[in-house]
Structure 1
Amino acid sequence: MNLLKTLATVSGLTLLSRISGLVRDLLTARLFGASLMTDAFFLAFSLPNLLRRLFAEGAFSQAFVPILGEYKGRKSEDETRSLIDDVATILAWVLLAVTALGVLAAPVLIWIVAPGFSADPPKFATAVSLLRIMFPYIGFISLVALAGGILNTWARFSVPAFTPVLLNLSFIVSMVVFARGDDPSIEVLGWAVLGGGVLQLAFQVPALMKIGMLPRIRVDLRAAWADAGVRRVLKQMGPAVLGVSVAQVSLVINRVFQSFLGTGSISWLFYADRLMEFPTGMLGVALGTILLPYLSRANAAERHDDYNALLDWGLRIACLLALPAAVALMVLALPLIATMFHHGRFGAEDVVMSAGALRAYAVGLPGLILVKVLAPGFYARQDLRTPVRIALLVLLATQAMNVAFIGPLKHAGLALAIGLGACINASLLFRGLRRRGIYTPLPGWGGFAWRIAVALVMLGGTLWLAASSFDWLADGHAWLRVAVLAGVVSGGIAVYGLTLLVLGFRPKDFKRRV
């Protein structure tokens, strides 16, 4: 299998997800703006998302996928299917209990993560109502993550990569059909989240049936608990949960800070973060998704040279694409926000404030993407403790920066702290891989680095000159903004690509087969 081709496929499907997500956000900004209601929705939605990362895409996947890859390579099909059934049984019953508790305890949860909301009873009540509607989403999306882990281990990357599109379609259809009138109800978005979770899970079922690995959830938990593979997954989940919890605790603390900022701050950060998700999803998540199963196989087979080469390939691809994305987001922050969201109730002040947050986030984009490559270097070896220790240090550093930056920079200070924290995380993970002898850079990094640096200078200069001559906040220029931005971005891509070609880069240099 050609990893570069697989990456292009997964990235393309992720791009489709991000484009549909952008349409979703355009509708949300147009219909609801940056208001009390959107602050309540984004805050409430962050809680099931937090648990999703904890139970599903974070700790669970880090613990489950390497062990499942080992079973697939070394054990029989019946043993592998039994592991999947038992893990699914435990996960489903735990999620049922967590969901019921979350619905009942919604007021307490909102008070914990957003104490500032208690001073505004309508905002607090809206957040509680939305959380109760959306909380069952955690159950559906966690089972989606289980299905995605299975399909990725069987190298069926396309179905999990397309699945997030369905959540965005649920949002779009719900807003078009139900969010009508001058004052649409924000609860439409809550029901869209729940419907999207159901659609995503249903979409995975045929693909699992095709490979003969559709999980069978049992009523009897005793047999599942007795499975040795399940106990290994649960043992690995201990440090994994701690590691992911550190990141989520950081997000919760950020929410606490945000709840004391002015109205609109949470929404400004959300819209900036949504644009950040384009490169992090298309590149970072895609790379991590592809690398983890193959690194796990190489580790199980003790192919150390292949393991090292996979990490080196991932790091080069990440640097090649993440660095220009960061430069582009910093230079084009205001044009991007204005073009995407400056409509309806999303005013000029909202554009300027969101652009400031986007620039701050962009500082950490290379770190965010490199973490997605470096962390699997530990996970595939079933070493989750080292990333946990690093995450604890990053948590302390991030919160110290929050305290230092929030005064002078307000909401943008919180974004900057997250970005710098990601860079610290990537640096410490890289240092850990090098010190343990897990990764040794292959020859050619010196020439690679200076060529990238020259191309980045050319890119930044081109984007700045092209974008600075247009009034991005002028009213009535919506379609003109789209056309100008498309031209600026296309020109930047052309300059960056041509510079690399002139300096000797060729696409074939980044092909890798496994």
Structure 2
Amino acid sequence: MLKSGIVVSSMTLISRVLGLVRDVVVANFMGAGAAADVFFFANKIPNFLRRLFAEGAFAQAFVPVLTEVKSHQNEAELKDFVAKVSGTLGAIVFVTAIAGVVLSPVLAALFGAGWFIDYLNDKPDGANFELASAMLKITFPYIFFISLTGFAGAVLNTLNKFAVAAFTPVLLNISIIACAWLLAERFEQPAFALAWGVFIGGLVQLLFQLPFLFRAGLLVKPKWGWRDPNVTKVRTLMIPALFGVSVSQINLLLDTFIASFLMTGSISWLYYSDRLLEFPLGLFGIAIATVILPALSRNHVGKDDQGFKSNLDWAFKIICLLGIPAATALVLLAYPLLMVIFQRGEFSVDDAQMASYSLIAYGSGLLSFMLVKILAPAFYSRQDTKTPVKYGIITMATNMLFNLIFAVPFGYVGLAIATAMSGTLNAVLLYQRLHRQGVYKISGETLSFILKVVLASIAMGASIYMFNVSFVWESADLMARIYMLTALVGLGLSVFAVSLIVVGIRPRHLKIQKAA
């Protein structure tokens, strides 16, 4: 699994780097103004549905059932199952995409209520509502393409072909970057070029994966299979999982709704800070979660409780090893990161400062977000969707309460604080349930390992702070900022690595240990 995790993480690194390049291009063209707010809004809704259909609930429900069918049924039955799932999922998301295009004004009014109210009152920001409605018509079909892409990726991951699905998002970033540079000048509003980049990127990602499905012998003609027993099982598992696995995305969508009432730039500042949060979350959290789900599903199907505990414990340790220092560095380097990566063109120093506040708030919840990525599969691999959905609803309700509490005094930063706090609550509830069920309990050896990682992270953080405190980022030119940030990152990594050795962590501690 470590090897598979490295493969996925490496492919994800390429995707995330290009994702940052894409966001640099967006920041350069639009900064954090009204047009940027509208594009991020129009892109967030189909991306939210992507997490539900493609990467979130669907994958969590589909992979365990696919593993079961692959283990207990013949090749013809496996192909029939894949055909029926692809046909059923494809039909549902096609109808969803068409409905999204037709109802784009309704969606823009619902999730951008602040803009809609301004539109009704003939205020200047009302133009954002019209722009969002038009842009949704272009971005919404993305849900059809990416859902089938996610389906193909889930099949390939179950076959231990992780690299293909992990590399695929690179194509979306390339499409958006290309459209931004080639088409922006052709539109009166450059944001439309980015919207077409999303549409084209979805199509290209789907086409890219089809040859790999063909080589695996699972590129089959889709069939409608709503009442097929195995499809029914996926459907039954998926419906509650819509809430359980995607609660963080629902919370982010609620943030966008509230941010539409706040000062101009709020949605963009939250977006840019969330993008930097997604970098370590995707590189480490999602990468480990991607390889752990098929492994846990095989453990469950094979009734290997010992292997299940060992694999989950390994994932927990690896997430802490990567997540604790990543969160520490993200909080300490929030402002420098935003300045070096985004501060150019229409993206000002003030935008970097404002976005850094929400990034610090998001960063405080990074470890929790990563832990949820591995704790939720511990339920879904055992085909238990009721528990995560229950905690998901609790977490979502708590996030709404925190939003109301913190949004008034802290504005958009309060929304990020609420998201981090609700994410931590979700992780705690999931772990407590696994503990009470006797499925997984953090061992003394793992607690000792985590404590050592915390000590190494403190040493790393102290070194970064001492060398960063006297540097004036605003007055430095771009190259000086890059050199300083590179030096700080290199210093942090070196201190962290040496500290791990000093506190006694060795490579053997990263191997899967047999559960007691």
TM-score range, shorter chain: over 0.9
Q: After TM superposition, give the deviation of residue 280 of structure 1 in Å.
A: 0.4
Q: Does 1:171 align with 2:171?
A: no
Give the alignment's Cα RMSD to 1 decimal.
1.6
* Other-structure match for 2:132: 127
8 Å CA contact 2:187–2:193 kept in 1: the answer is: no
Q: Deviations over 1:75-132 (max 9, x none)?
A: 1111111100001111111111111111110000010001111212321111111100
Corresponding residue to 2:23 among 5, 25, 40: 25
CA distance in 2, matches of 1:253, 1:316: 32
Q: How does 1:141-160 map to 2 (within 5 A)?
A: 141-160=146-165
Q: How does 1:301-320 map to 2 (within 5 A)?
A: 301-320=302-321
- Which amino acid in 2 is paired with 1:198? L
Q: How many residue pairs align between the two structures? A: 507
Q: Does 1:210 align with 2:208?
A: no
Q: How does 1:283-322 map to 2 (within 5 A)?
A: 283-322=284-323
CA distance in 2, matches of 1:21, 1:462: 29
* Other-structure match for 1:228: 229
* Other-structure match for 1:496: 496
Q: Any idea what SS the aligned residue of 2:56 has?
A: helix
Q: Any idea what SS the aligned residue of 1:474 has?
A: coil
CA distance in 2, matches of 1:5, 1:249: 32
8 Å CA contact 1:339–1:472 kept in 2: the answer is: no
CA distance in 1, matches of 2:251, 2:442: 32
Q: After TM superposition, give the deviation of residue 247 of structure 1 in Å.
A: 4.6
Q: Any idea what SS the aligned residue of 2:89 has?
A: helix
* Other-structure match for 1:9: 7
CA distance in 2, matches of 1:108, 1:330: 38
Superposition TM-score, scaled by structure 2 size = 0.95
Q: How does 1:271-290 map to 2 (within 5 A)?
A: 271-290=272-291
Q: Does 1:440 align with 2:441?
A: yes
* Other-structure match for 1:382: 383
Deviates more, 1:334-343 or 1:436-445: 436-445
Superposition TM-score, scaled by structure 1 size = 0.96
8 Å CA contact 1:364–1:420 kept in 2: the answer is: yes
* Other-structure match for 2:505: 505
Q: For structure 2, list consecutive stretches of 5 or more residues without a partner in the other structure.
A: 119-124
Q: Deviations over 1:37-87 (max 9, x none)?
A: 111111111111111112221221111110001111111111111100001
Q: Deviations over 1:178-211 (max 9, x none)?
A: 2249976210000000000011001101111111
8 Å CA contact 2:168–2:205 kept in 1: the answer is: yes
8 Å CA contact 2:327–2:364 kept in 1: the answer is: yes
Q: After TM superposition, give the deviation of residue 511 of structure 1 in Å.
A: 2.7
8 Å CA contact 1:309–1:442 kept in 2: the answer is: no
- Which amino acid in 1 is paired with 2:320? C
Q: After TM superposition, give the deviation of residue 469 of structure 1 in Å.
A: 2.0
Q: Deviations over 1:429-471 (max 9, x none)?
A: 0000000011133441242133122211101101111222212
Q: After TM superposition, give the deviation of residue 500 of structure 1 in Å.
A: 0.3
Corresponding residue to 1:77 among 70, 75, 78: 75
Q: Any idea what SS the aligned residue of 1:302 has?
A: coil
Q: After TM superposition, give the deviation of residue 492 of structure 1 in Å.
A: 0.2
8 Å CA contact 1:17–1:162 kept in 2: the answer is: yes
8 Å CA contact 2:340–2:478 kept in 1: the answer is: yes
Q: After TM superposition, give the deviation of residue 253 of structure 1 in Å.
A: 2.4
CA distance in 1, matches of 2:444, 2:372: 22
Q: After TM superposition, give the deviation of residue 24 of structure 1 in Å.
A: 0.4
Q: Any idea what SS the aligned residue of 1:386 has?
A: helix
Q: After TM superposition, give the deviation of residue 420 of structure 1 in Å.
A: 1.1
CA distance in 2, matches of 1:258, 1:25: 20
Q: After TM superposition, give the deviation of residue 248 of structure 1 in Å.
A: 4.6
8 Å CA contact 1:13–1:158 kept in 2: the answer is: yes
Q: After TM superposition, give the deviation of residue 148 of structure 1 in Å.
A: 0.7
Q: Any idea what SS the aligned residue of 1:381 has?
A: coil
8 Å CA contact 1:14–1:282 kept in 2: the answer is: yes
Deviates more, 1:406-415 or 1:142-151: 406-415
* Residues 70 and 144 of structure 1: CA distance in aligned 2, closer, same or farther (over 3 Å): same
CA distance in 1, matches of 2:319, 2:155: 25
* Other-structure match for 2:206: 201
Q: Any idea what SS the aligned residue of 2:472 has?
A: coil
- Which amino acid in 2 is paired with 1:43? F
